Each structure stands twice: as structure tokens, then as C-alpha cells.
């Protein structure tokens, strides 16, 4: 007997794969999702915040049933020097009303729920199975090979994440270079919810995101992060892999160092570590987005490098949902036309160009160049911290005006007005 031919086989049950499969199944198409994890979500980790507006287009009011941790009403950015810290703190109760602005989420739980919705919609999900290869008919992808079996499909959607071996096998993506990915390492730290609320000035289900710039990366391109969950904190650092490679520092040591910083250690005091995780994040933006389609084949989410990194925003999930949905639209069109070749699938790229996905990446195309500037991780955070220290110091000596303090500190940091002007110009263009 011939094996069933699916309208689409999706490799990977993360946000991108699930969004594609959900939309296709809802439209009545035959969809198979193959997930290498023991359960959907088992291999997935991210910093912590999910923006819900895109998912709400697919599953309206999803926040009423999804396993969300806290809705984020407070955003803090903290600059660190060796011992000191300086924070910018924004809090808005309006972020705490439906449809909410963003949620902290634990991926092992959230992705499992999302995959459940996909099954409810009528798709088949097979966990614990690794897609090993593509099936070809000439230049056309006609299915996948997994666990030694063939799964024929009109279209294969590669949602296999940042190390997309399928996009490489399809000849669309090159091997990733260490400059274009960052390594995130994270600890899940258990803390009672009352302590979290008191410590972070939050009401019931409200949450905070805190991003750290400066000493925590020892000058490397990257930063630290903290997200509050219901009864835990997600704490970690993200560092450009090429910088880590050059510096010869162990990521696990950096994380311990970050945890012991005076500006951090009291935030996690009394907590118990429950899990230690690591994951790569694509960070090249528009400059390294591969060819997104070929005959019978589409690449979505992290696999296509669709992640926005501006230094302040780090969003992959919205891009995963949106690209998955665009892929589903395109596969529906292919089914209608009876043509899964490039001629129809090029519609996918067109949809991404029209939506925020490729437009945001285009808007922030200079971000990576800007963020490669080491002054952002050494000079400026130190300057801000030292300047604040000068401002608040009472040592019985004659006081100086802010501008005098700034000039002295700039001299100490060997920072000229020209540096500031150039960085300001690049920053204006980049973020």
C-alpha cells in the first residue's frame, strides 16, 4: 500500500510549526507534524516573554486557556559595572488588561498546550521522531524521511529551529556562522509567588522583564535577562557565539558570575535552581535570511533566522507565529492551484514582505552592526554607573556639577565627544 500523501508535513512542533499546522488543519488540509522531542516543547527554551498579538489572530482569546505565567506590566533595563547598577524602570497597569502586551511563558508547558490545540484542530502530531532527510523528485521536495520511514507530502515545512539541518539539506541555508548566532544559557529559579510579587512590586499575576547590559558579559556582545514566572524566575545571559569563542570564557561560569553580582543576587535570594538550559538564537536579522522556499519546501521561524534583535527587543515567537501562518496560507493556495512548485510557493515570501516579519527585519537592518560595538558593553554602562555614583556621593569634598562629572568620567573611560557622536548616529539608525 502506498503511504498516505499529506498536504503538508511539518518538521518541528515549536511556535512556527504549530502555527502553520493549526491554520492548515483548520482549513481542512491533511497535516502531519513530526517532533523530535519526547513531547512538543521538550527541546525548547527561550528567555521568557511572548508577545500575544500575532497568536491571537490564530487563536482568539488564547490567554483564557493557555498556560501563561504572568502578564508583563513592568520593563526594567539595568546597566551594570563591576559592583554598581543603574536602572530604567517602566511600569504600566494598562499592559495588564486584555489582550495584554506580553506574557512570561515556560516553553515546555506552553508549546505542549499549543501542540494540543493543533491536534484538536485535526492535525496529526508524532513526537519522539526525528526528521532525518528530505525526499526528492528531481529538484522538488516531495516529503521527509523519519525513523527510517518515508512520509510523502505536497509541501514540507521546515520548522526545525535554529540549527535547521533541513534548510541546509534543501540547499537554501548555508552553515551558520558564529557571528550570526548567540548562545543563551538560563536557570529556572523557584521562588514563592508572594515573594516575587513583593520583591518586584507586582500585583497578583503581573510580571516584570529585566534586561541587563554591561559587566555581566565581560564586554562581549550580549546581555543578561530576568523574567518573572508564576512561581519562578528565568535568569540567564545571551552572548554572541563568536565573542564567546574569542574570549575563551565558559558560559556556565559567566552565569554564576552574573548571579553573584550585587545588583542581581538579591533578586534571586532564597531561590532554588530547578533547571539549567541552553539554546542558540539567530541574530543576523535580514542580512542572513536564507532563500525561504523552493519547489515543495518552505522554511519558517528560527530555521529561517526570523528573529528581531534590536538590543531592547528580542522577539522570535511573534515572527515564528506569523511566518507559520504565512506558510499555511501559501500551502492552501498550492492545494487550490494543484501546484506546490516555486511558482505558487513564492507567495510565502510576498506575504512575509507585506507583514511585519520582513518589514521589521528591514527597519532594523543596521542593528547588528551597531550592537557589535564593544563600547555598548563596557564604556557606556560603566560611565552611567560611575556618573550616578558621583552624583549620589557625599564625601565632604566640594561638589561638582553633572557636566563636570561627566567630562571627568569620559576622560577616565577614554571616551571622546566624537565617539559619542558616531555611536549616537549609528544608534539612531539602528534602534
Nearer to other proteins, 51 or 183 (CB): 183
Do residues 8 and 95 make contact, with C-beta atoms less than 8 angstroms apart?
A: no
Q: Judged by CB under 8 A, does residue 146 bind other proteins?
A: yes
Count of helices and strands (H, E) across the chain:
15, 19
Nearer to other proteins, 146 or 430 (CB): 146
In angstroms, give the least distance from the CB of 409 to other proteins. 32
Residue 179, φ and ψ in degrees, nearest 5: -75, -20
Q: Judged by CB under 8 A, does residue 82 bind other proteins?
A: no
The radius of gyration computed from the CA coordinates of the chain, to the nearest angstrom, equals 23
Do residues 182 and 241 make contact, with C-beta atoms less than 8 angstroms apart?
A: yes
Binding positions for other proteins, 203-232, rule CB under 8 A: 232
Interface residue with other proteins, options 28, 98, 128, 262 (CB under 8 A)? 128
Contacts of 136 (CB under 8 A, 6+ apart): 142
Catalogue the E-assigned strands of 67-194: 70-80, 85-91, 103-104, 124-126, 131-137, 140-146, 149-158, 181-190
Q: Judged by CB under 8 A, does residue 148 bind other proteins?
A: no
Binding positions for other proteins, 8-37, rule CB under 8 A: 36-37
The closest alpha carbon to 160, from 298, 260, 252, belongs to 298
Q: Judged by CB under 8 A, does residue 124 bind other proteins?
A: no
In angstroms, give the least distance from the CB of 178 to other proteins. 5
Nearer to other proteins, 17 or 340 (CB): 17
Q: Judged by CB under 8 A, does residue 271 bind other proteins?
A: yes
In angstroms, give the least distance from the CB of 196 to other proteins. 15
Q: Judged by CB under 8 A, does residue 144 bind other proteins?
A: no
In angstroms, the Cα distances linking 336 to 285, 324, 349 are 33, 19, 18
Residue count of the chain, please give it. Answer: 431
Nearer to other proteins, 36 or 335 (CB): 36
Q: Cell match 562629572: residue?
A: 405
Judged by DSSP in three states, 212 sits in strand
The closest alpha carbon to 125, from 190, 8, 35, belongs to 35
Nearer to other proteins, 188 or 384 (CB): 188
Nearer to other proteins, 160 or 382 (CB): 160
Q: Judged by CB under 8 A, does residue 38 bind other proteins?
A: yes
Interface residue with other proteins, options 25, 129, 351, 385 (CB under 8 A)? 129
Pairing of strands 149-158, 297-299: parallel
Binding positions for other proteins, 251-270, rule CB under 8 A: 251-252, 256, 259-260, 265, 268-270
Rounded distance between C-alpha atoms, residue 327 and residue 95, angstroms: 30
Nearest 5°: the CA angle 322, 319, 179 is: 150
As beta bridge partners, residue 58 has: none
**Total residues at interface with other proteins (CB under 8 A):** 59
Q: Judged by CB under 8 A, does residue 188 bind other proteins?
A: yes
Nearer to other proteins, 59 or 108 (CB): 108
Binding positions for other proteins, 361-380, rule CB under 8 A: none
- 20-28, 177-185, 316-324, 423-431 -> range binding other proteins (CB under 8 A): 177-185
Interface residue with other proteins, options 82, 97, 245, 429 (CB under 8 A)? 245
Residue 201, φ and ψ in degrees, nearest 5: 55, 55
Nearer to other proteins, 176 or 308 (CB): 176
- Estimate to the nearest angstrom the gap between the alpha carbon of 148 and the chain centroid: 32
Rounded distance between C-alpha atoms, residue 266 and residue 92, angstroms: 24
Interface residue with other proteins, options 7, 84, 111, 295 (CB under 8 A)? 111
Nearer to other proteins, 39 or 136 (CB): 39
C-alpha cell at 179: 557571528
What is the pattern of x (binds other proteins, CB under 8 A) and - over residues 274-303?
A: xxxxxxx-----------------------
Nearer to other proteins, 231 or 372 (CB): 231
Q: Judged by CB under 8 A, does residue 192 bind other proteins?
A: no
Nearer to other proteins, 273 or 422 (CB): 273
How many CB atoms neighbour CB 97 within 10 A? 11
How many CB atoms neighbour CB 171 within 10 A? 13
Residue 283, φ and ψ in degrees, nearest 5: -135, 15
Residues near other proteins, by CB under 8 A: 36-39, 41-46, 106-109, 111, 127-130, 146-147, 162-163, 165, 175-178, 181, 183, 185, 187-189, 232, 241, 244-245, 248-252, 256, 259-260, 265, 268-271, 273-280
Amino acid at each position: 500500500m502506498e503511504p498516505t500523501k499529506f498536504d503538508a508535513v511539518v518538521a518541528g512542533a515549536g511556535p512556527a510549526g504549530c502555527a502553520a499546522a493549526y491554520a492548515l488543519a483548520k482549513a481542512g488540509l491533511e497535516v502531519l507534524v513530526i517532533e523530535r522531542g519526547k513531547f512538543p516543547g521538550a527541546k525548547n527554551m527561550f528567555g521568557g516573554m511572548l508577545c500575544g498579538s500575532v497568536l491571537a489572530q490564530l487563536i482568539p482569546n488564547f490567554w483564557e486557556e493557555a498556560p501563561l505565567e504572568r502578564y508583563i506590566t513592568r520593563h526594567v533595563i539595568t546597566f551594570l559595572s563591576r559592583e554598581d547598577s543603574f536602572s530604567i524602570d517602566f511600569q504600566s497597569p494598562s499592559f495588564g488588561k486584555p489582550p495584554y502586551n506580553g506574557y512570561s511563558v515556560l516553553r515546555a508547558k506552553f508549546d505542549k498546550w499549543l501542540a494540543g490545540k493543533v491536534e484538536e484542530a485535526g492535525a496529526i502530531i508524532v513526537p519522539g521522531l526525528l526528521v532525518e532527510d528530505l525526499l526528492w523528485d528531481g529538484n522538488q521536495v516531495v516529503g521527509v524521511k523519519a525513523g527510517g520511514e518515508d512520509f510523502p507530502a505536497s509541501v514540507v515545512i521546515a520548522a526545525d529551529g535554529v540549527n535547521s539541518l533541513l534548510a541546509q539539506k534543501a540547499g537554501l541555508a548555508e552553515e551558520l556562522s558564529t557571528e550570526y548566532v548567540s548562545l543563551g544559557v538560563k536557570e529556572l529559579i523557584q521562588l514563592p509567588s508572594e515573594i516575587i510579587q513583593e520583591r518586584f512590586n507586582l500585583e497578583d499575576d503581573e510580571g516584570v522583564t529585566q534586561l541587563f547590559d554591561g559587566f555581566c558579559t565581560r564586554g562581549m556582545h550580549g546581555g543578561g535577562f530576568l523574567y518573572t514566572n508564576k512561581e519562578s524566575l528565568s535568569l540567564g545571559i545571551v552572548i554572541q557565539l563568536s565573542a564567546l569563542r574569542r574570549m575563551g570564557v565558559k558560559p556556565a561560569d559567566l552565569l554564576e558570575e552574573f548571579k553573584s553580582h550585587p545588583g542581581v543576587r538579591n533578586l534571586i535570594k532564597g531561590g532554588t535552581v530547578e533547571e539549567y538550559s541552553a539554546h542558540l538564537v539567530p541574530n543576523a536579522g535580514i542580512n542572513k535570511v536564507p532563500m525561504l522556499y523552493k519547489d515543495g519546501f518552505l522554511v519558517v521561524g528560527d530555521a529561517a533566522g526570523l528573529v528581531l534583535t534590536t538590543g531592547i527587543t528580542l522577539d522570535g515567537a511573534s515572527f515564528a507565529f506569523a511566518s507559520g501562518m504565512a506558510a499555511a496560507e501559501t500551502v492552501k493556495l498550492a492545494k487550490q492551484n494543484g501546484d506546490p512548485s516555486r511558482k505558487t510557493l513564492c507567495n510565502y515570501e510576498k506575504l512575509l514582505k507585506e507583514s511585519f516579519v520582513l518589514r521589521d527585519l528591514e527597519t532594523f537592518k543596521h542593528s547588528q552592526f551597531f550592537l557589535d560595538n564593544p563600547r555598548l558593553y563596557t564604556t557606556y554602562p560603566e560611565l552611567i554607573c560611575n556618573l550616578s555614583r558621583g552624583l549620589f556621593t557625599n564625601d565632604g569634598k566640594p561638589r561638582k556639577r553633572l557636566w563636570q562629572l561627566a567630562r571627568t568620567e569620559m576622560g577616565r573611560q577614554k571616551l571622546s565627544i566624537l565617539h559619542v557622536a558616531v555611536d549616537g548616529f549609528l544608534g539612531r539608525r539602528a534602534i
